[in-house]
Amino acid sequence: MRFDSNKEMLDYLFSLRHMNVKLGLESITGLMDFLGHPEKAFDSIHVAGTNGKGSTCAILASIYTEAGYKTGLYTSPHLVDLRERIQINGEMISLDFVRKMLNEMLPAIKSLGSSFFEVITAIAFSYFCEQSVEMAVVEVGMGGRLDATNVLYPKAVVITEIDLDHQKQLGNDPKQISQEKAGIIKPGATVIVNVSRPEVLEHLSLLSREKRTSFVFARKGVKVENVRATPEGTSFSLRTPQNHWDRLFLPLPGRYQIQNAMNAIRTVETLGSTDFEYPKGAIPRGLRNVHWPGRLQLLQSSPTVIADVAHNLHGISHAIDEISNLFPRKRITCVFGVLAEKDYLAMIELLNEYVDDYIAVSPDQHRALSAVELTKAIHASGKNAIAAESVLDGLETAITNSNSDDVVCILGSHYNLENVLKHYKSS
């Protein structure tokens, strides 16, 4: 079997997504063996956490690009285009390279029973190796200890906020989940952590000491000042133990993004004191130039339409609270769609404090909760909801039913946004 077109290749690749979620390193280790261990060819920063890890990765990659390093970025999932997952200095991988690698790897994929994520991870590491990347910023897919990305031996391990998500695979307690996330900590790495739960911080510190790593709590000795949040982004000043960063601007709306920026800045500062030096201007430029769609992304005005990938209770809480602060005293309609395994009843309970009306949708994913079932749950909570045929239909209904000064937000899953972003790009 050989793929002679990119369409054939993508059809096969996406067919692998229907396999059950598989945690473990046997298959990815087999692929690395088959490819001659490309993961050993570049330095890396490995980022885990429940929320904020994608934004932290995007900020880190932007800073290192501005610092002059050839910088790889590997994140998941993508919103519109598979190539979003694998980038170098902001340029996406070519589908021709993906097809070349898939043709080369096909015997090993079939022999090992490799999953979609394992295959994409192997392709990413091969691309970074072939392109002589100097620093790769790599986001964990799920958990950490048994995630396919955990074949890396990184320069730094960054852990963002930890909360409940993927409980079936990772457990029902933040401390237990932190144990899984900390599985990416390797001897010799520098560990930078930004978490709010004291028991999680203490546990991560203990695990880091056991592995003889250097441990940095990103918030220690740091002061945030002059915060100003707008729908276009967030400006702030930051005092760290090493520097005073004045009037930084991050084009990612939401005050919670300051924590992700803080994590990234403390990581760059810490590594910069050893072997990854950087010009001071790289940090403000990196923040200002970061591109990370689907995070409180403003899509239109009159009525305001804003989209966010928040897909667990912690993320939903931050997103809807920030929307309420950015657009105070506005009527809010939520286009809401979730995967069936998520704690959507708790999400609805939280959203009900802010949302006036719902349009229930079903994300374009085989694990999605049906719009009909979601509508029933919303009605049972005491709120009004309409079930829509698709996310785009739901958005159109929400806009039609809104006045020019109302707000429409799209929340609940990454998978809600593909067709929405395509629609706004083409319009």
Structure confidence at residue 191 (pLDDT): 97
State the pLDDT confidence band at 22, using cuts at 50, 70 and 90.
low
Structure confidence at residue 166 (pLDDT): 41
Closest Cα partner for 123 from 12, 24, 38, 2? Answer: 38
Other beta carbons within 10 Å of 333? 26
Taking only the tens place, the pLDDT of each residue in 152-161 is 999 999 999 9
Indicate if the pLDDT at residue 167 is higher than 60: no
Q: For 229-256, what is the mean pLDDT?
A: 96
Q: For 159-175, what is the mean pLDDT?
A: 62
Q: For 230-256, what is the mean pLDDT?
A: 96
How far is it, in rounded angstroms, from Cα 357 to Cα 403? 13
Structure confidence at residue 172 (pLDDT): 57
Q: For 84-110, what is the mean pLDDT?
A: 97
Indicate if the pLDDT at residue 20 is higher than 70: no
Please state, for a pLDDT cut of 70, what percent of the chain lies above it: 96
DSSP label at residue 218: T
State the pLDDT confidence band at 173, using cuts at 50, 70 and 90.
low
**In sequence order, which residues have a C-beta less than 8 Å from that of residue 217 and are 6 or more positions away?**
193, 194, 201, 205
Indicate if the pLDDT at residue 12 is higher than 50: yes
The tokens for 418 are: 């593909």
Pair type for strands 43-48 and 156-159 = parallel
Task: Provide the whole-model pTM.
Answer: 0.94
Taking only the tens place, the pLDDT of each residue in 365-410 is 888 999 999 999 999 999 999 999 999 999 999 999 999 999 999 9
Indicate if the pLDDT at residue 349 is higher than 90: yes
220 burial (CB, 10 Å; 0-12 / 13-18 / 19+) is: exposed
Cite the beta strand spans of 209-274 per DSSP E.
Answer: 214-217, 223-230, 233-239, 244-250
Structure confidence at residue 178 (pLDDT): 81
Taking only the tens place, the pLDDT of each residue in 35-74 is 999 999 999 999 999 889 999 999 999 999 999 999 999 9
Q: For 108-114, what is the mean pLDDT?
A: 95
Structure confidence at residue 193 (pLDDT): 96
On average, the pLDDT of the chain sits at 93
Lowest mean pLDDT among 94-103, 195-204, 214-223, 240-249: 195-204
Q: For 162-172, what is the mean pLDDT?
A: 53
Indicate if the pLDDT at residue 207 is higher than 50: yes
- Domains of the chain in start order, with CATH, are 6-288 (3.40.1190.10), 297-426 (3.90.190.20)
Amino acid at 315: G
Structure confidence at residue 170 (pLDDT): 44
The tokens for 67 are: 């610092």
Closest Cα partner for 344 from 315, 364, 323? Answer: 315
Task: Say if CB 84 and CB 92 are below 8 A apart.
Answer: yes
Structure confidence at residue 1 (pLDDT): 78
